[in-house]
Structure 1
Amino acid sequence: MDDKSTSDLFSCPSLKELLIKKCYWKNLNLVSISAPKLKKLIILDGPARGRAVSNVCRVQIKGVNLKLFVYTGRLLNEYSFFGSSTKHARFYFHHIDDAGLDLVVKHEYNLLNGLSNVHRLAFSDGFLKDLACKGELLDRLPTFPNVTRLSVRRVISLNCRVLQMIFEKSPHLDRISFKRGPRMKISEVLDDLHSCYLARLKTIRIHTFHASVEDFFILGLLLKNCVVLKQISLRFTHDEMEIEDLERLRTLPRSSKGCGVTLFFSDNRVMEL
């Protein structure tokens, strides 16, 4: 495939959805995706190990009607957005601490800048690990003025510095979803800044709740520090919960008096506490 055929392929005036899977863009310097009706763009990159860092392709995305952008892989190529109205962005980056990390982090910052007007943002722990390795660059994170919903894939510590910065840069963020549940050692103390940002949250979803000692510790911290919380949803990993654990859930202190707790069981039953 050459530059001309690539340009013809990605300039379809009627294209609304596009999936690009395991495409390496070898021997290409520039790819332009320009489809005025494109609403959904999903890019699933191939394996990153063994790829030469020097083989970088610039991918320009011009989608004025783009609503959803999903990227999975390792950002060895450089992606730029022009005139994007994307509302929902998901990044599932593969973290590999090797010679290519500097380039990958540079591309991640560039991608975030191009999508800073999104309303919903989702990312994996690989993204957090990448940025944490280059902590000196955290101040370069863009502001996300429209983000109201955040979803975190995998396990993340509530004291994560990168998570704190994203809260700081997202003034209207009031809803967060943890796909694998937040984590923190019982011996740890919640950072004051994290307590401040948690105080803005109105809705929390925890998709993996085991009713362990650590789970109850985390839940207690959230209910204590989220002073305007309206709803917290927990997805329990089994069909039944011990009576003692149910009673403990009901009696956990809540700083927000109007906060509701909803428990989802693995057999799809729902219980309001």
Structure 2
Amino acid sequence: MCVDGCPWDESEDCQVMISGSSLKEFCYLGDFMNDLCFYDCSPLENLKIRIYNWDQRARTVSRRLYKLLSGLSDVKRLKFASPAIEVLNYDAALLDSLPLFSNLSFLGLNYGLVNLDSKALLKILQNSPKLETLQFSKGINLSSDFDKNRGILDPVPACFLSHLKTIEVCKCDGNKDLYVDVVQILLKKVVILDKLVLYCRRSTWTPDEMEKIRKELPRASQVLQMELM
């Protein structure tokens, strides 16, 4: 089932009731002009969320996104647009009460760079104890403040210590030092990681640079794969 928020723009602030008894997949594309309320939900295989036009309505959108996530928290695969991560940061109270994603095994973050120091990202990871694969489809961003980056992903999510085996980072272009820092952080935090894959442009990285990273960073030679595109 896919819901596009655009057709409802003329009737804002309605409650849309959705029965999820036989729902296996759900995607939402829109600006959360209305509340989506779910009942009798069965476990979901796939959930995709992409939001638009939230800048002037951040708290309202955050509340409605929270309600959607609470209604569909029993999901195996979640694809989340990076603006949805950003908007959750606008309401600390809701962020503290995000639901437990007890069966989530795949988390994909797309449609923009994701800040690795995002409180919302950390909370989702902390609430996903069985997460096995984490994918950044459009790359990662870090603060320019070194001291701030030292506290990233603390406290360490439980899945980093028990289940998370694969991390994929696409669009590793531009600031190469930034991605070296990203690799260092992830290798340090995710202690059971089997595979960390960076997808890089040939025009940005050379094979010699990639080999140097593998040799110099702890554990990189065992788990790091850098794929030239």
TM bin, normalised by shorter chain, reads: 0.7 to 0.9
**1: distance between equivalents of 2:23 and 2:214?**
43
Structure 1 portions without partners, runs of 5+:
1-40, 267-273
Tell me the alpha carbon deviations over residues 22-74 of structure 1, each in whole angstroms, 9 at most, x when there is no partner.
Answer: xxxxxxxxxxxxxxxxxxx12233299xx57x722322222433222111121
Q: Distance in 2 between matches of 1:134 and 1:112?
A: 15
Structure 1 residues 146 and 255: CA distance shift in structure 2, 3 A = same
Deviations along 1:165-214, whole A, 9 cap, x unmatched?
A: 11221121232100112221352333265362273331100111127111
CA distance in 2, matches of 1:185, 1:101: 22
Residues 98-121 of structure 1: CA deviation (Å, up to 9, x unaligned): 2x4333222111111110100111
- Whether contact under 8 Å (1:118, 1:146) holds in the other structure is yes
Distance 1:55 1:65 in 2: 27
Name the aligned partner's letter for residue 138 of structure 2.
R
Higher alpha-carbon deviation: 210-219 or 139-148: 210-219
Q: State how far apart, in whole Å, the 1-side matches of 2:150 and 2:130 are.
A: 22
Alignment check: 8 A CA contact 2:28 2:50 kept:
yes
1:264 aligns with 227
Name the amino acid aligned to 1:196.
V
Quickly say closer, same or farther: Cα 1:191–1:174, change in 2 above 3 A. Answer: farther
Q: TM-score, normalised by structure 1?
A: 0.72
The separation in 2 between residues aligned to 1:67 and 1:145, in whole angstroms, is: 16
Q: Match for residue 128 of structure 1?
A: 85
Which residue number corresponds to residue 24 of structure 2? 67
Partner of residue 176, structure 1: 134
Identity %: 25
Could you list the structure 1 runs, at least 4 aligned residues long, displaced by more than 4 angstroms after superposition.
Answer: none
Name the SS of the counterpart of 1:90 in structure 2.
strand
Per-residue CA deviations over 1:119-155 (Å, capped at 9, x if unaligned) read: 1112122112221111232122111111121111121
Please report how far the alpha carbon of residue 252 of structure 1 lies from its aligned counterpart in structure 2 after TM superposition.
Answer: 3.8
- The reply on whether 1:163 has 2:121 as its aligned counterpart is yes
Name the residue aligned to 1:224: 188
| Contact 1:79/1:111 (<8 A) preserved | yes
Q: Which has the higher helix share?
A: 2
Code of the aligned partner of 1:217: D
Match of 2:160 in 1: 199
Structure 2 spans left out of the alignment, 5+ residues: none
Q: Which stretch has the larger CA shift, 197-206 or 136-145? A: 197-206
Alpha-carbon offset, residue 240 of structure 1 = 8.0
Structure 1 match to 2:101: 144
Q: Does the CA-based 8 Å contact 1:235-1:263 persist in structure 2? A: yes
CA contact (8 A) 2:166 2:194 kept: yes
Distance 1:122 1:175 in 2: 12
2:206 is aligned to 242
Conservation of the 8 A alpha-carbon contact between 1:91 and 1:127 = yes
For the pair 1:45 / 2:16, whether they are aligned, the reply is no
Corresponding position: 1:209 with 2:172 = yes
Secondary structure at 1:84's aligned position in 2?
A: coil
CA drift at 1:255: 4.2
Is 1:88 matched with 2:88? no
Could you say if the C-alpha distance between residues 96 and 146 of structure 1 is closer, same or farther in structure 2, counting changes exceeding 3 Å? Answer: same
